[in-house]
Amino acid sequence: MNYRELGSSGVEVSEVGFGAWVVGTDWWGDRTEEQAVEMVQHALDRGVSYIDTGDVYGHGDSEELIGRAIADRREEVTLATKIGYDFYNNPQAGHGELPKRVDPEWIDTAVERSLDRLDTDHVEFLQLHNANVDEVTPDVVEKLEELKEAGTVEAIGWALGPSIGWLAEGDRAVELEVFDAVQTVFNVFEQTPGRHFLETIEATDSDTSVIARVPHSSGLLNEQVTPDTELGKGDHRAHRPTAWYEAGWEKLEALRFLERDGERTMGQASIQWLLSHDAVASVTPTFRTTDDIDEWAAAPDTPALSEEEVARVEELYQQNFGVERDDGMDALRSSVGGEDIEAAGVDKQAAGD
């Protein structure tokens, strides 16, 4: 395993992290609490030190399980959590989004409760969870800076979403010095808006890092969703349209050259492609089994993508990987009505606005 710094914060994260939303929910399969704890500890044994959870995952269950799993190994962990949803006063309706709260008083309350569940006095990395750009007011920024100064957190981030897009939020995070990283959906197939943020970071000489989630495009790039796969109603991957998966399976065949004659799997190559971008600090695949952990935690130890391979992926991406149908994989959504899409030079019609 290799490690990279979050921005210029001094906080190091493993290049492959543990996206712990799966620990507190049944959206990607059922598991006992004991199995969840064992998975986290297995990941630590494989060098996965970056654990990324959130208070809303299982309405606190994920944080409590993570706290149990790392209780005797806290010094090994770069611990991240997210705040911004009021799940205390609102029931969860399926996979729907809950009401959000992002204000200084709520931040204090949410952080205190998260630390209690995690059984720790600090987290290395605190993220605002899907906050809209107009919610991150100067008072909110000041509160985040206070938490840093107090040592309650060491680095600050902005997790973008829930939908793909949110250019205004990512650009604002790069602009504001308080944010050390932005987290966004980013993978070989879904490169918008991740590549835009990389370009913005480079153009502004910013120290901001990117955390890439959904690196396997909901099961396509790790080949866990195939034409024979039946996704249950509770499986979060089922929200993808059938036509989207059908186009993805066609695209996948164009990327077989990345497997390098068995030297790396497609799932590992997908992680290596993300890590070929210097600003990407960590990639957080969704681990469902210890076998997943073994394979993807080993990705940084497989051959890095060559310049020729990266260039070929870029060429294929520009050609939609040879697939003519409109699959909607790069549909771009915004929280502010499209002005940020135009500012980024993205065609609004193509972006689905």
The secondary structure of 197-223 as a DSSP string is HHHHHHHTT---EEEEE-TTTTTTTTT
- Cα dihedral sign for 119, 121, 122, 126? positive
Q: Phi/psi at 201 (nearest 5 deg)?
A: -60, -45
Q: Where are the alpha helices (DSSP H) in the chain?
A: 21-24, 33-45, 61-69, 104-118, 138-150, 167-175, 194-203, 242-253, 266-275, 290-297, 307-318, 339-343
- What pLDDT shows up at residue 339? 44
- What pLDDT shows up at residue 260? 82
- What pLDDT shows up at residue 315? 97
- At the fourth CATH level, the homologous superfamily of domain 3-343 is NADP-dependent oxidoreductase domain (3.20.20.100)
Cα separation values, 21 from 43, 290, 304, Å? 15, 16, 28
> How deeply is 85 buried, as exposed, middle or buried, from its count of CB atoms within 10 A (0-12, 13-18, 19+)?
buried
Q: How many CB atoms lie within 10 A of CB 6?
A: 26
Domain chopping of the chain, boundaries: 3-343
Nearest to 133 by CA among 176, 96, 185: 176
User: 12-14 and 3-5 as β-strands: parallel, antiparallel, unpaired?
Assistant: antiparallel
Provide the token pair at 344: 């980024």
* Cα gap 208→216, rounded to integer Å: 23
Q: How far is CA 352 from the centre of its chain?
A: 22
pLDDT along the chain (353 residues), means of 10: 96 96 62 83 97 88 93 96 84 64 94 97 96 93 97 97 76 93 94 92 96 92 79 67 82 93 93 97 93 96 96 95 73 51 37 27
- pTM for the complete prediction? 0.88
